[in-house]
Amino acid sequence: MDDQNQEHKSDGSDFSDEADTLNYVLYRDRPEWKDVQPIAQDDGPAQVVQIAYSNKFSDVFDYFRAVLKSGEKSVRVLGLVTDALTLNPANYTVWIYRLEIVKHLKVDLHNELEYISNVIREFTKNYQVWQYRKTIVEMLNDPSGELEFTADILDMDSKNYHAWQYRQWVLTAFSKLMENELNFVDNLISQDMRNNSAWNQRYFVVNNSDPNNDVINKELEYTFGKIQILSKNESAWNYLRGLLLYSENGIFEDKVREFCSKLYNKGNRSTHLMSCLIDLTDADESTNPENVEKIKFALKLCSDLASVYDPIRRFYWEYISKDIELKFNFREHDTKIM
Active site residues: 125
Kindly report the backbone phi and psi dihedral angles of residue 211, in degrees, each rounded to the nearest multiple of 5, phi listed first: -70, 140
DSSP per residue, 273-305: HHHHHHHHHHH-----GGGHHHHHHHHHHHHHI
DSSP per residue, 102-159: HHHHT--HHHHHHHHHHHHHH-TT-HHHHHHHHHHHHHHT--TTHHHHHHHHHHH-TT
How many whole angstroms separate alpha carbon 242 and alpha carbon 200? Answer: 10
On the CB side of 21, how many CA atoms lie within 13 Å of its CA?
11
| Residues 163 and 124 sit within 8 Å (Cβ to Cβ) | yes
Kindly report the backbone phi and psi dihedral angles of residue 247, in degrees, each rounded to the nearest multiple of 5, phi listed first: -80, 85
Rounded alpha-carbon distances, angstroms, from residue 219 to 32, 210, 274 = 63, 13, 21
How many whole angstroms separate alpha carbon 321 and alpha carbon 230? Answer: 27
On the CB side of 271, how many CA atoms lie within 13 Å of its CA?
15
| Residue 107: closest CA among 208, 219, 244, 12 | 12
Q: What is the 3-state secondary structure (H, E, C) of 31-61?
A: HHHCCCCCCCCCCCCCCCCCCCCCHHHHHHH
How many whole angstroms separate alpha carbon 263 and alpha carbon 269? Answer: 8
